[in-house]
Chain A
Amino acid sequence: MSRRELTCVICPIGCNISIIIDGNRPTQIIRIQGNACKKGAEWAHQEVENPLRIITSSISVIGGDFLLASVKTTKPIPLIKVKQVMKEIHERKLIAPVSMGEVVISNPANCDTEIVVTRSIQINPVRSVNEK
């Protein structure tokens, strides 16, 4: 048996969760302490098995009233896939207009998530001529 300290990232309270795990099977939790709510316990199980995170970034937009469209994953993705997902985000370009919630990449790096835009962007007539 061994002890691990985790910080729950689900909400701003950020509980310090200590878990006792089976020495032979590091993903087998024997006891959980310190989580102020149920979500924290579920999260701890997930965290020892395969940590998941929401990723946010931005994609450049041609001809818009903003230069960048901020984006996010609709579901958390495995931490180990973050690099690959970022690569796909970096390769993508958008053309104005785009609207909040619009899917711009489906299943990046084969993850069960979509990348959606988090800010609506209108066409800027001046930029749209110059940048094209």
Chain B
Amino acid sequence: MLNRDIVIIGGGPAGLAAAIAAKETGCSNVLLIERDHILGGILNQCIHDGFGLETFNESLTGPEYAARFINNFNDLGIEVMIGTIVLSLNADKILEVSTAGKYIRIKTKTVILTMGCRERTRGAISIPGSRPSGVYTAGMAQNLMNLENICIGNNVCILGSGDIGLIMARRMTLEGAHVQAVFEILPYCSGLSRNVQQCLNDYSIPLFLNSTVTEIIGNGRLEGINVAQVDTNGFPILETKRFISCDTLLLSVGLIPENELTREAGIELDPLTGGAVVNDFYMTSITGIFACGNVLHVHDLVDWVSEEGSEAGKNAASFLINGDIGSKENHIPIMHGKGIKYTIPQRVSLKKDFTLSLRIRTPGRDRTLIIQDKENVVMKKKVHHLHPAEMIKIYIPKSSISNSSSLKVTLE
């Protein structure tokens, strides 16, 4: 059995940042494990620009952003196993790993979970109809086009207005496909508004809100779809049903944190995020196991993934060097008031200042986020533009909290 101080599972931006920070904080026995044959995670297939505006003040493409971290990682001489998958993790921090056809076991003092997320599939939202080829998740299509050089179709419709779907609408248009429309069941777009402008409006691709695909039609290859508007409860209005001929349907209907290993280890999960419950050190319910990046909660900005990764890496290293960081008994929970979908962390030690990441439930304008402890308002923050697709971050100094048995966040 191998022995390590820190094992990081997943070599995307979260894992890379965590490894770099752990090493820089003074931990030398760090191992990063990645199942793919290259580092960088999802960034490898995200060839569009827009990454790194916060970290580097430059608009980089995914591969360029990843390269900066990979270079830094390599320069630090951190140990890495690529083409290696972690099969299981238990509460004693023993990992079962498959690498180059070999089975090995690794015992480690701390673990950082950075497995990222996967896409919701058609099954998960169960559209009626036949099961022809030509139906892809948007990320799968992105992978096939951008890494495998496979043309996936010519006449395209997109269900769901997530960012990956919008990015793919533009990508396929530029590659010569005809992208007919994007259908979104919600009354608002779930992707960033800049992507609606530069991926749809620029190429005159219509976005139909309050609309969904009611049937998938085709034998062998997709021949078309039925679409309909939905009522306020999300049920299709039959009179509005129409047929659209197409050979390709992309699904951009959301991401799910990939937490099989987490669940198996018996780590407490938050049904609101699909990821682990963590404290302000990004430590999960098992002492010494940390989580960050998309495996913890789905991010829209990779810059914030890297930031969270650094923070978690630094904390894991300090935990090894200094021992206990904030014993769990004294943690206080963060409660959700009106309008709040989730918060990360879910509980805090109040031993240090912390950043609260949160998402709100519905779009809005000019509202106030209020954070209060048992008696006092700790902080008020005006937010001009609110959207469920956009994560909000608030820095909270511990000195601002006086009565500390709980904290509550509300949107007024």
- B61 near A118 with CB under 8 A, answer yes
Cα-based distance from A52 to B48 in the complex (angstroms): 16
Task: Determine the distance from Cα of A82 to Cα of B198 in the docked complex, in whole angstroms.
Answer: 12
**Nearest Cβ in chain B — how far from A12, in angstroms?**
6
Q: Which residues of A contact B148 (CB under 8 A)?
A: 67
A100 touches B64 (CB 8 A): yes
Beyond A60-B149, A100-B67, is A12–B300 a contact (Cβ under 8 Å)? Answer: yes
A118 to nearest B CB, angstroms? 4
Stretch at the interface among B13-21, B188-196, B213-221, B371-379: B188-196
Q: Residues of A contacting B329 with CB < 8 Å? A: none
Q: A70-B63, A100-B64 are in contact. Are A54 and B192 (CB under 8 A)?
A: no
Tell yes or no: A45 within 8 A of B by CB.
no
Q: Mark A9-36, 1 if CB is under 8 A from B, else 0.
A: 1111111100000000000000000001
Shortest beta-carbon distance, B182 to chain A, in Å? 16
Residues B47 and A58 in contact, CB atoms below 8 Å apart: yes
Q: B76 at interface (Cβ–Cβ under 8 A)?
A: no
**Cross-chain contact of B67 among A14, A51, A86, A120 (Cβ < 8 A):** A120
B174 in contact with A86 (CB, 8 Å):
yes
Interface residues of B in 38-68 (CB under 8 A from A): 47-50, 53, 59, 61, 63-64, 67
Contact check, A68 vs B385: say whether CB atoms are below 8 A apart. Answer: no
Name B387's closest neighbour in chain A (CB-CB): A14
Chain B residues near A14: list those with CB within 8 A: 192-195, 197
Closest beta carbon of chain B to A2's beta carbon, Å: 18
For B61, what are the chain A residues with a Cβ–Cβ distance below 8 Å? 56, 70, 72, 118
Residue of B whose beta carbon sits closest to that of A15: B385
Known: A56-B61, A57-B174, A119-B63. A66 touches B147 (CB 8 A): yes
Q: A7 contacts the other chain (Cβ, under 8 Å)?
A: yes
A1 within 8 A of B: no
Contact (A7, B193) CB under 8 Å given A12-B300, A15-B385, A56-B61: yes
Is the beta-carbon distance between A7 and B194 smaller than 8 angstroms? yes
Number of interface residues of B (CB under 8 A): 31
Q: Are B47 and A67 in contact (CB under 8 A)?
A: no
- Tell yes or no: B285 within 8 A of A by CB: no
Q: In the assembled complex, which residues on chain A have CB atoms less than 8 Å from the CB atom of B53?
A: 11-12
Is A77 an interface residue when CB atoms closer than 8 A count as contact? no
- From known contacts A70-B63, A100-B64, infer whether A58 and B146 are also in contact, taking CB-CB under 8 Å: yes
| Nearest chain B CB to A114 CB, angstrom units | 15
B87 interface hit (Cβ, 8 Å): no
| Interface size band for A | 20 to 34
Complex interface: chain A residues within 8 A of B75 (CB): none
Query: Is A79 an interface position by the 8 A CB rule?
Result: yes
Q: With A70-B61, A70-B146, A72-B61 in contact, do A16 and B67 touch (Cβ < 8 Å)? A: no
CA distance in complex: A1, B194 (Å)? 26
Once A54-B59, A67-B149 are accepted as A-B contacts, the answer to whether A12 and B194 lie under 8 Å apart by CB is: yes
Whole-angstrom distance between the alpha carbons of A36 and B202 in the complex?
22
CA distance A12 to B387 in the complex (A): 12
A7 near B197: Cβ-Cβ < 8 Å:
yes
B301 interface hit (Cβ, 8 Å): yes
Interface assignment of A103: CB less than 8 Å from any CB of chain B: no
A127 within 8 A of B: no
Contact A9–B197 (Cβ < 8 Å) = yes
Q: Could you tell me the distance between the alpha carbons of A16 and B384 in the complex, rounded to whole angstroms?
A: 11
- 14 new A-B contacts, CB < 8 A, other than A13-B385, A118-B64, are A9-B197, A14-B194, A14-B197, A15-B385, A16-B193, A16-B385, A57-B171, A57-B175, A58-B149, A60-B149, A68-B146, A70-B47, A70-B63, A79-B202
Interface residues of A (CB under 8 A from B): 6-16, 36, 51, 53-58, 60, 66-68, 70, 72, 79, 82, 86, 100, 118-120
Q: Which 9 A-B pairs have the closest CB atoms?
A: A70-B47, A14-B194, A14-B193, A7-B197, A119-B63, A67-B149, A9-B194, A118-B61, A9-B198
* 16 pairs, CB–CB < 8 Å, chain A vs chain B: A7-B197, A7-B201, A9-B194, A12-B194, A12-B300, A12-B390, A68-B146, A68-B149, A70-B47, A70-B146, A72-B49, A118-B47, A118-B63, A118-B64, A119-B47, A119-B63
